[in-house]
Chain A
Amino acid sequence: MSTTGQEMNNLFEKQSFWRQLGSFDWVWAIGLVLASGYAWQQYSSLMDVYEVGILFGTVISLIAWGWLWKPVRAYTIAVALLSLFSIYLYGDDLALGETNFFLKFLISSKSSIMWMSALYVLATVAYFIGLFIGSEFSNKTASAMTWSATVMGLVGLLVRWRESYLIHVDVGHIPVSNLYEVFILFSIITALLYLYYEGKNKNYNMGGFVLLVISSAVAFLLWYGFGSRGASEIQPLVPALQSYWMKIHVPANFVGYGAFALAAMLAVAYLIKDSMTKSGRNGAIINRIPDLEILDDVMYKSIALGFAFFTLATILGAMWAAEAWGGYWSWDPKETWALIVWLNYAAWLHLRLTKGWRGRPLAWWSVIGLFITLFAFIGVNMFLSGLHSYGEL
């Protein structure tokens, strides 16, 4: 029996999981372990049990994540190097952000976010060019720009985290506490979800659609953060937000929102392709959009993922509320809207899984779902008042 590489990976052959890993996978794991060991050795005296747990938990999940989705490795390394470089340049002096060349133009939090914004918008354009003229080059460029934007966005958030501590130890907090910050988070998460599907399906043509939501988020972000409201200024946390729960509740929520947004944009692509083919106008552009079946499948997977995270986030929110407000459920507008969003997607999933619905009706429903989600996400803060009124417009 000859053993070629392919057979090695045959699921049904006896094999060790470890042997499937390449050398970069090992470098990745060892590097992470060393880095966390160093961090632990340096800072363990400052950490409590939870923080040690978080440190090692993060390392283990990062290793696993990098093994399962290879591009994560390069992504993490890029983010880590840039953020560390920025933090190193800052030292203890926040004012350097205005004077140091690198900080001022590249990797202070604000500049990173600006780069992120610009790159996402450019990527959107490039993806559409790729779609319209079928240029592989344009597509690849768009993809590279999306990756870079996503790097810059996360760098921006991480550096902002550090900057908040440079303002004052008391002010320091994880940057997921106002609409400006969570919009950055939303953009990054949506982009990562998209990039995962892009890599998996080897199809770039959905990029423009998905990046359209991200670009809208960026537009909002710039208006909200740098307009007259100045929400990009770091503010200290009000007592209600000073909780560990915030750190997990908010990001979990945004995986949900990101996934729902992705699903909705795939639904838009689906609807366009479907009606164009039905009316017999399927030119090259329409053909480049992935098969309806694939769109439908990815849309389902995306909603399933979103639903899982959204459920988790809502539960975490309830647990937080039980600690901060004296009850796990208060029918506060934000909570109630979370329930509405959740019921909406529960209905969606039931129709698909038990009634066997597919295609157009569910695609329309996803698009409507995005508006419901959007209302829960910003509308509530804009129009309704309640306990959650932190990120008011």
Chain B
Amino acid sequence: MTNEIKSDGESSQENDLLEPQVERGRSNRKEHGLFKVIISFLGSMELAISLFVIIGIASIIGTILQQNQVYNTYIVKFGPFWFEVFRSLELFDIYSSWWFVILLGFLLVSTATCIYRYAPVIIREWRQFRLNVSSKSLKLMHSTGSWNTETTPNETAQFIQEKLANGGYQSRLKNEEGIITIAAKKGAINRLGYLFTHGAIIVICLSALYDGNFNLKLREAAGQLKPETRDLFASQVPDISRLKADENHAFRGNANVPEGSTTGLVFLQMRNGFLVQELPFTITLNDFRIEHYNTGMPKSFESDIVIEDIESGEKISKTIEVNHPLFYKDFAIYQSSFDDGGSIMDLQAWSLDDSKQKVVSFQQVVGQNKLMETSQGEFKLELTEFKALNVQPNPKAEETGRKFKNMGPSLTFRLRDSSGQAKEFINYANPTTQEGRYFFLSGVRSTTTEPFRYLFIPADDSASLKRFFGFRSLLSNPEEMKRIAEKTAAMSLPSTGVPDPKRIAQMAVVMQRLAELFNQGGFDLVLNDINEKVPEDKRKDVQDSYFKVLQTILGTVYLEVLQGENIDISKNITPAQEQYYDDLVNTMGVISKYNAPFFLQIKSFEHKEASGFQITKAPGKDLVYLGCTLLCIGIVLMFYVANKRIWVIISPSTEGQGAQLLVAGSGDRHQKEFAKEFQALSQLLDKQYTTH
């Protein structure tokens, strides 16, 4: 074996001295012609670096272009032409596209080739001491020195081996015709680092590939599988999009399970479609809980689930939460999301139509739609989201000392008219306080990007909407209003003199008309009316007197409503009742802007949640971890174990019994550190021997 250590003239640094030479590695194997060319291409550093760069760039594209969105989103974004181009390049699902997997495959092959070429050299360097060195090559080394000894070569060798052992070096000795060669090494295991890191890459890539959906893609290409793109129930999905429990060794899918329900299926996403994967067990969700911090941020998501093995009937109950999945056989079940599982809402729609006042009660499940007949036509009521809790920053944290308050349950819904236009509403079930008074809150907006504008409807003494809608209903009833207007007019005219029936009648007409305008459009409409009909110079006076009149009749209506509630109004009304009146009038003034056919009140509800599970089977996981461990060990060996070598040649002196000592060494990638070490050795030898 020729293991000449030669100083590399080209490199200014001595680092390359112990480097595995590609030439050497190659010369060790019998490689011919084409094979040789292929191997040297696949194992070339140029290819490796290019792959690093190309994979890097492809990955960047995948992070900039959002992956796996609904195809429509892309069409809207890029237009049909570019959409088609991108789709055919599989840019919407880069990481499992053919070309990306092929790139990774190249990296794999390239790394494997590298190992194939270097491994023999590496192992040799790790195991061997390299006793075949010549004095000439030692003298060429960076760290080198020579001494004369008075001790015999054998004694000298013994001394030196002892010292080398102290310094942590292993050494071997060769005695050839009286010339003793000692080869010592330390940290040669550094060389194994190469095998570990590069072997790790192979292990990791292969196991990750095994866990990926490559097999499904192959079967899809062979026409055995077809992802379903329609919005179907699991039971309606045809067989070509279904996978039996034992048909797929690795997958990652999702299942949404409402409380109290059971499922034995998961959905595997594939580009813009999905496959239905059957499981060998069923999952039942008994309960789903969300806990909150007092800031309203979620603190934990937990699901109580029961797993039942379909074959053995074995049952396991467990609570899973984020960061605490359930591992069952080869499967892992994760808490990944949550949703409404079809909460049942008891609702009451109070008509806001000012001609027909009525109240409808009904039940509806969240997530479902219902057609509602209203005076403004047919509307589709879509219940979109129910939240049992709404914790929000408390604007009055200073006073109350509580930073957050719970607004209670809320229901988000959409009202879609026959032309397809929809408005979104959010209604709170419980009245909330504002300056000590209670209001029912409803937010409205016409696009999801704008903020909600809120309508506050005052809650009456029994925390209900009765009084408010009673008032409205009275106001909308022409006969009743006529009666009330006449009564009010009679009372409000000056009591001195004889009441003039004509004036009273006139007054009553004005009153009724003002009340009607107010009912339709609040004070704004009244003002508009005045502005239209009254010349500018008189407006101010007319306004004042009209508002006075309006207030009078509204007041009377209010008193009648109170009376209707069997409240004794012969005594003074309470400040609370007075306050209620102000709030009522304020709300009535703006309710026309709410512009909805009815106000939806949440009477009661049965909250049902659904838990989103991610269910995975990844048999390659442990191998990936093994690879990761190898990778870490390899990196530490490569960077932090210094591979150092020292050689000593002891030749008998020409005169006397002493010897000549030639010592040299190299520290591979750690030359500086080694130079210090060599200096220490030299000092020690200086003391013992005379320098040559």
Q: What residues of chain A lie closer than 8 Å to B59, measured between beta carbons?
A: 331, 336-337, 339-340
Tell me the residues in window 583-598 of chain B with beta carbons closer than 8 Å to chain A beta carbons. none
Is A285 interfacial (CB-CB < 8 Å)?
Answer: no
Question: How many Å lie between the Cα of A384 and that of B324 in the bound state?
Answer: 27
Say yes or no: B621 contacts A322, CB within 8 Å. yes
Question: Whole-angstrom distance between the alpha carbons of A208 and B13 in the complex?
Answer: 29
Interface residue tally for chain A (C-beta within 8 Å): 56
Interface flags for B1-36 (1: CB within 8 Å of A; 0: not) read 000000000010101100000000000000000000
Looking at the assembled complex, report how far the CB atom of B560 sits from the nearest CB atom of chain A, in whole angstroms: 52
Interface residues of A in 102-128 (CB under 8 A from B): none
- Check if A343 sits within 8 Å of B55, measured CB to CB: yes
Are B628 and A318 in contact, CB atoms less than 8 angstroms apart? yes
Evaluate whether A239 and B301 lie within 8 angstroms (CB atoms) in the complex, with A171-B293, A308-B636, A355-B45 already known.
yes
Contacts of A337 in B (CB 8 A): 59, 63
Which of A324, A331, A350 is the most central at the interface, judged by chain B CB atoms within 10 Å of its CB?
A: A331
Instruction: Say what secondary structure dominates the interface of chain B.
Output: helix
Residues of A within 8 A of B322 (CB): 239-240, 242, 324
Question: Assuming the A-B contacts A11-B167, A327-B252, are A240 and B680 also in contact, with contact meaning beta carbons closer than 8 angstroms in the complex?
Answer: no
B683 lies within 8 A of A10 (CB): yes
Give CA–CA (A334, B164) in the complex, Å.
49
Residue of chain A at shortest CB distance from B627: A315
Given contacts A239-B321, A327-B618, 7 further A-B contacts (CB under 8 A): A12-B163, A13-B163, A307-B639, A322-B332, A339-B56, A343-B52, A350-B45
Whether A315 contacts B321 by the Cβ 8 Å rule is: no
A12 touches B332 (CB 8 A): no
Q: Are A327 and B616 in contact, with the CB atoms below 8 A? A: yes
Residues of A within 8 A of B15 (CB): 356
Determine if B208 and A329 form an interchain contact, defined as CB atoms under 8 angstroms apart: yes
Within the complex, the shortest CB–CB distance from B189 to chain A, in Å, comes to: 16
Chain B residues near A307: list those with CB within 8 A.
635, 639
Do A319 and B625 touch across chains, with their CB atoms under 8 A apart?
A: yes
- Does A14 belong to the interface (CB within 8 Å)? yes
User: In this assembly, does B432 line the interface, its C-beta being within 8 Å of a C-beta of chain A?
Assistant: no
B273 CB within 8 Å of chain A:
no
- Closest approach, in angstroms, between the C-beta of A276 and any C-beta of chain B? 21
The answer to whether B293 and A236 touch across the interface, beta carbons within 8 angstroms, is yes
Q: Is the Cβ of A243 less than 8 Å from the Cβ of B252? A: no
* Nearest B-chain residue to A379, judged by Cβ: B63
Say if the beta carbon of A354 comes within 8 Å of chain B. Answer: yes
Given A168, A328, A333, A347, which contacts B63 in the complex, CB threshold below 8 Å? A333
In the complex, which residues of chain A have a beta carbon less than 8 angstroms from the beta carbon of B687? 1
- A325 located at the interface, meaning its Cβ lies under 8 Å from any Cβ of chain B in the complex: yes
Judge if A311 is at the interface, Cβ distance under 8 Å: yes
- Complex Cα distance A351/B62, Å? 26
The answer to whether the Cβ of A219 comes within 8 Å of any Cβ in the partner chain is no
B52 near A346 with CB under 8 A, answer yes
In order of increasing CB-CB distance, the 8 nearest A-B pairs are A326-B614, A239-B322, A326-B334, A333-B63, A12-B163, A12-B167, A315-B628, A331-B95
Residue contact A328 to B624, C-beta cutoff 8 Å = yes
Total contacting residues, chain B, CB less than 8 A = 64
The closest CB in chain B to the CB of A13 belongs to B166
Contacts of A325 in B (CB 8 A): 334, 336, 614
Q: Could you tell me if B681 and A12 are in contact, using CB atoms closer than 8 angstroms?
A: yes
Cross-chain contact B300 with A239 (CB below 8 angstroms)? yes
- Could you give 27 example pairs across A and B, Cβ below 8 Å? A10-B683, A11-B168, A11-B677, A12-B166, A13-B163, A171-B293, A235-B295, A235-B297, A238-B298, A242-B323, A311-B632, A315-B628, A325-B334, A326-B252, A326-B325, A326-B334, A327-B252, A328-B621, A331-B62, A331-B95, A336-B59, A336-B60, A340-B59, A350-B52, A354-B45, A380-B63, A385-B66
Q: Whole-angstrom distance between the alpha carbons of A312 and B252 in the complex? A: 25
Bound Cα distance A240, B683 (Å): 59
In the bound complex, do residue A243 and residue B323 qualify as a contact, i.e. CB atoms below 8 Å apart?
yes
Q: Does any Cβ of B come within 8 Å of A323's Cβ?
A: yes
- Give Cα A240–Cα B53 distance, bound, in whole angstroms: 32
Complex-state Cα separation, A13 to B687, whole angstroms: 12
- Residue A304 CB within 8 A of the other chain: yes
- The chain A residue with its CB closest to the CB of B636 is A308
**Contact partner of B332 among A14, A297, A326, CB < 8 A?**
A326
* Whole-angstrom distance between the Cβ of A84 and the nearest chain B Cβ: 28
Q: Cβ of B618: which chain A residues have Cβ within 8 Å of it?
A: 322, 327-328
Which residues of B128-185 have CB atoms within 8 Å of chain A's CB atoms?
163-164, 166-168
The distance in angstroms between the C-alpha atoms of A243 and B334, with both chains bound, is 14
Q: Tell whether A48 is near chain B: CB-to-CB under 8 Å.
A: no
Contact B616 A13 (CB under 8 A): no
Asked if B684 is at the interface of the complex by the 8 Å CB criterion, the answer is yes
Bound Cα distance A311, B631 (Å):
8
Chain A's closest residue to B640 (CB) is A308
Determine whether the beta carbon of B323 is less than 8 Å from that of A324.
yes
Inter-chain contacts of A346 with B (CB < 8 A): 52
The B650-671 residues at the A interface (CB cut-off 8 A) are 669
CA distance A320 to B480 in the complex (A): 71
Q: Check: A178 CB closer than 8 A to any chain B CB.
A: no
| Closest-CB distance, B522 to chain A (whole angstroms) | 38
**B628 neighbours in A (Cβ, 8 Å):** 315, 318
Check B321 against A11 for contact (C-beta < 8 Å): no
Contacts of A311 in B (CB 8 A): 631-632, 635
Task: Please report the C-alpha to C-alpha distance between residue A113 and residue B62 in the assembled complex, in whole angstroms.
Answer: 37
Q: Given the complex of chains A and B, what is the CA–CA distance between A347 and B616 in angstroms?
A: 33
What's the least CB distance linking B496 to chain A, in Å?
A: 66
Q: Which residues of B contact A141 (CB under 8 A)?
A: none
Interface residues of B in 382-434 (CB under 8 A from A): none
- Asked whether B540 is an interface residue with its Cβ less than 8 Å from the other chain, the reply is no
Q: Which of A290-328 contact B (CB under 8 A)?
A: 297, 304-305, 307-308, 311-312, 315, 318-319, 322-328
Q: Are A239 and B299 in contact (CB under 8 A)?
A: yes
Task: Give the chain B neighbours of A319 by CB distance below 8 A.
Answer: 625
Q: Which of A2-51 contact B (CB under 8 A)?
A: 7, 10-15
Contact string against A for B residues 593-625, beta-carbon threshold 8 Å, 1 for contact and 0 otherwise: 000000000000000000000111010010011
Of chain B, the residue at the smallest CB distance from A312 is: B632
